C-alpha cells in the first residue's frame, strides 16, 4: 500500500503565496498553480486561508493605528497617565518597571506560555549561526561577539506572528509596517551577545543600503520566549541595569538618534545554565520594505 506523505506548509510556500498576493494574483490562480505543482487541493486551500488570515490581522492593526493618527516621534507605550495595565489588540500586558533616560520599559505577560512555545518550535528548524551587519559593506557576517543562533520570520508570516505583531504595534503605538520581521535567537550555555547599539552608524559605508529599507532603527523590543536557569540577562552597561529573562516578558528601549549619548548600549549576558530564547522586534522610523 502506498503511504500518502503529509505536505507541510513550509516557509518557502508561505513566502511564495505572499508574493503572489502582492502581485495581485487571485485566490483561484494561486490554488490552481499550487495544484499544478503537486500540492493537494486541501493543503493548497489551507495554506492560502492561513496567508489571507495573517493579512487580515495586519490590515486591521494598521487601520486601528490610522485612527489614532500618524505615528509620533518615537514608539512609546501609553503609560504617561500612570497606567500599568495595558490592553493591546485585546491582550492584557503589565508594566513591570520603566526608566526615563534611557527610555526602557519592561513588560510582563506580553506573550502567553503557549505563544512562546509555538514561536520557538516554528523557529527551531530554521536556526543558523547568528550574523550581524558588516559595517563596511552592509552585508551580513558571522561575528564572534554574537555566539547565539538565529533566524528571521517575515512580517505576518503566519497568523500567530501576525497577531503578535499587531499586539506589539498597539502596545508601542507604532504601525506594523514600520517594524522589521521578528528575529528569533537561541543562546546555549556560554553563548552571549556582547554590548552593542542597535541603530546603524550613519558614518559606516555599509549603513547606506540598510537605511534605504525604512530609515533608522528607533526602538527595540526583546521578548523572552524561554528563560535559562542562570545568566542571560539583557544588560545596559551605561546605566548598570540588568533585565532578567522571564518567559513571556519583554524589554523595550528607544533611541531618538543614532548616537551613544542615548545610553542604549546593551548586550545579552552569557547564559550559565539552560537555554535562552528571545524574539527581537526592531522598529524603524519609516515603512520597512
Report what 267 binds from ligand PD2, Zn ion, none; CB cut-off 5-8 Å by kind.
Answer: ligand PD2
What's the closest the beta carbon of residue 183 comes to ligand PD2, in angstroms?
Answer: 6
* Least separation in angstroms between CB 245 and ligand PD2: 7
CB of 228 to ligand PD2, least distance (A): 11
Q: Which of residues 126-155 bind Zn ion (CB under 5 A)?
A: none
Q: Which of residues 217-236 bind ligand PD2 (CB under 6 A)?
A: 220, 222, 234
Asked whether 9 and 43 are in contact (CB, 8 A), the reply is yes
Partner in contact with 156, chosen from Zn ion, ligand PD2, none, beta carbon below 5 to 8 Å by kind: none
Among 149, 180, 198, 285, binds ligand PD2 (CB under 6 A): 198
Burial (CB < 10 A; 0-12, 13-18, 19+), residue 69, is exposed
What is the x/- site pattern for Zn ion, positions 181-200, by CB under 5 A? -----------------x--
Q: Could you tell me which residues are beta bridge partners of residue 84?
A: none
Please report how close the Cβ of residue 40 comes to ligand PD2 at its closest, in angstroms.
39
Nearest in space to 130 (alpha carbons), one of 140, 138, 121: 140
Cβ contacts of residue 122 below 8 Å, gap of 6+? 153, 158, 160, 161
Question: Closest CB to ligand PD2 among 14 and 281?
Answer: 281
Binding of ligand PD2 by 107 (CB under 6 A): no
What x/- string results for residues 168 through 187 when contact with ligand PD2 is judged by CB under 6 A? Answer: -----------------x--
Question: What residues numbered 259-278 form the site for ligand PD2, per CB under 6 A?
Answer: 266-268, 278
* Site residues (vs Zn ion, CB under 5 A): 198
* Site residues (vs ligand PD2, CB under 6 A): 185, 193, 198, 220, 222, 234, 266-268, 278, 280
Amino acid at each position: 500500500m502506498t503511504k500518502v506523505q503529509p505536505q507541510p506548509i513550509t516557509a518557502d510556500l508561505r513566502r511564495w503565496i505572499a508574493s503572489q498576493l502582492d502581485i495581485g494574483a487571485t485566490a483561484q490562480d494561486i490554488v490552481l498553480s499550487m495544484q499544478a505543482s503537486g500540492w493537494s487541493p486541501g493543503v493548497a486551500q489551507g495554506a492560502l486561508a492561513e496567508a489571507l488570515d495573517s493579512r487580515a490581522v495586519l490590515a486591521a492593526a494598521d487601520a486601528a493605528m490610522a485612527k489614532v493618527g500618524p505615528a509620533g516621534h518615537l514608539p512609546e507605550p501609553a503609560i504617561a497617565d500612570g497606567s500599568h495595565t495595558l490592553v493591546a489588540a485585546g491582550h492584557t500586558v503589565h508594566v513591570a518597571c520603566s526608566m526615563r533616560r534611557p527610555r526602557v520599559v519592561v513588560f510582563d505577560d506580553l506573550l502567553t506560555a503557549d505563544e512562546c512555545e509555538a514561536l520557538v518550535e516554528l523557529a527551531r528548524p530554521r536556526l543558523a549561526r547568528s550574523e550581524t551587519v558588516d559595517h563596511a559593506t552592509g552585508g551580513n557576517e558571522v561575528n564572534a561577539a554574537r555566539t547565539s543562533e538565529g533566524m528571521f520570520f517575515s512580517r505576518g508570516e503566519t497568523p500567530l506572528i501576525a497577531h503578535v505583531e499587531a499586539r506589539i504595534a498597539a502596545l508601542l503605538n507604532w504601525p506594523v509596517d514600520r517594524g522589521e520581521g521578528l528575529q528569533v535567537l537561541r543562546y546555549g550555555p556560554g553563548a552571549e551577545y556582547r554590548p552593542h547599539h542597535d541603530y546603524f552608524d550613519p558614518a559606516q559605508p555599509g549603513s547606506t543600503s540598510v537605511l534605504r529599507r525604512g530609515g533608522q532603527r528607533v526602538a527595540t523590543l526583546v521578548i523572552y520566549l524561554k528563560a535559562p536557569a542562570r545568566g542571560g540577562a539583557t544588560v545596559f552597561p551605561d546605566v548598570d541595569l540588568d533585565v532578567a529573562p522571564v518567559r513571556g516578558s519583554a524589554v523595550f528601549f528607544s533611541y531618538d538618534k543614532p548616537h551613544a549619548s542615548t545610553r542604549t548600549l546593551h548586550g545579552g549576558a552569557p547564559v550559565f545554565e539552560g537555554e535562552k530564547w528571545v524574539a527581537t522586534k526592531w522598529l524603524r522610523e519609516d515603512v520597512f520594505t
